[in-house]
Amino acid sequence: MLFIQTDLPPVSNAFLEGKLEMAHKIVTQHQTVDSPEAYVAIISVLSAFFLVFFFYNVRDILRLLPVLLGTLSNKNICLNIEHISKDSRSRDATAYIMSLPTGMLIGRLELLHPSFLGNLPLGWTIVFTVGFVLAYILLKRLALLLPRPRKIAEDEWKVVQNSWMNYFILGSILSYIVGIPLILLNVSDTVTSIAVLSILGLFCMVNMVRMIQIISKRCSFMTTILYLCAFEIIPTGSLILLGFL
């Protein structure tokens, strides 16, 4: 329903200086006003969760970063991470908590804003985007229920299951390094979005290559494709689909 604002002068004054005064505003009943206070509160709460974890585990994170960088050039380092329980636990916890700032960045750029959310304020868009990223992680965790192929060793299978977290952490950190300064410098959201998506997409491709290297070495082409769909294509494709809804 539309409400027309008609703050018009008397009819006798309808024509003044040769101009016809007309109603100039149309306000929709469902128009949403973004509250700066709500936006700041939402961002503050999400940031607080991340910062508390980060400063509590900053030593482990800094120790882990060189190891994760090594996985880009040497797939055997992925195996080493799975063998060292301290490294794997730190990696897992860091990847989960990284979903908060990564979701906040994606939400700020409105890369995932499906039409069924309507005209939400930016603050709530960020909240829903963080939820979408958590759902993405949940889909990946559900893939752990898949049986291990008999031809793949247990340590290699752990790499297939968990290596995405190595590259999710690296991609997230690089996207902050690139994306946040672009936002602060008021670079257009289009340019910033392309940069962030390119970074995250690149590390996603690296993970897919690692998975293919391990699975295809032991299994048939069809089996490789099926596991690739379960671990990577379906979760990532679901996120991409949300961006086009």
**Any domain includes 8:** no
**Any domain includes 20:** no
**Any domain includes 160:** yes
**Any domain includes 186:** yes
Residue 47's contacts (CB-CB under 8 Å, 6 or more residues apart) are: 100, 101, 104
Burial of 210 (0-12, 13-18, 19+ CB in 10 A): buried
Element (H, E) at 26: strand 25-28
Query: What is the token pair recorded at 160?
Result: 């297939």
Per-residue pLDDT for 125 more than 80?
no
Domain span including residue 212 = 36-244
**Any domain includes 217:** yes
Query: What is the token pair recorded at 22?
Result: 């007309």
* Between residues 29 and 98, the one the model is more confident about: 98
Q: How many CA atoms lie within 13 A of 22 on its CB side?
A: 5
Q: Which of 100, 166, 167, 110 is nearest to 133 (CA)?
A: 100
**Any domain includes 2:** no
Q: Which of 231, 221, 239 is nearest to 161 (CA)?
A: 231
How many domains are contained in the chain?
1
**Any domain includes 31:** no
- pLDDT tens digit string along 6-61? 554 554 444 444 444 444 433 333 334 455 555 566 666 666 766 777 777 778 77
Per-residue pLDDT for 91 more than 60?
yes
Q: Confidence class of residue 199 from pLDDT cuts 50, 70 and 90?
A: very high
Element (H, E) at 20: strand 19-20
Q: Which of 178, 236, 173, 181 is nearest to 205 (CA)?
A: 236
Round to whole Å and give the CA distance between 56 and 80: 24
Per-residue pLDDT for 175 more than 80?
yes
Q: Which of 142, 160, 143, 147 is nearest to 215 (CA)?
A: 160
Per-residue pLDDT for 87 more than 80?
yes
Is residue 132 within 8 Å of residue 103, measured between CB atoms?
A: yes
**Any domain includes 3:** no
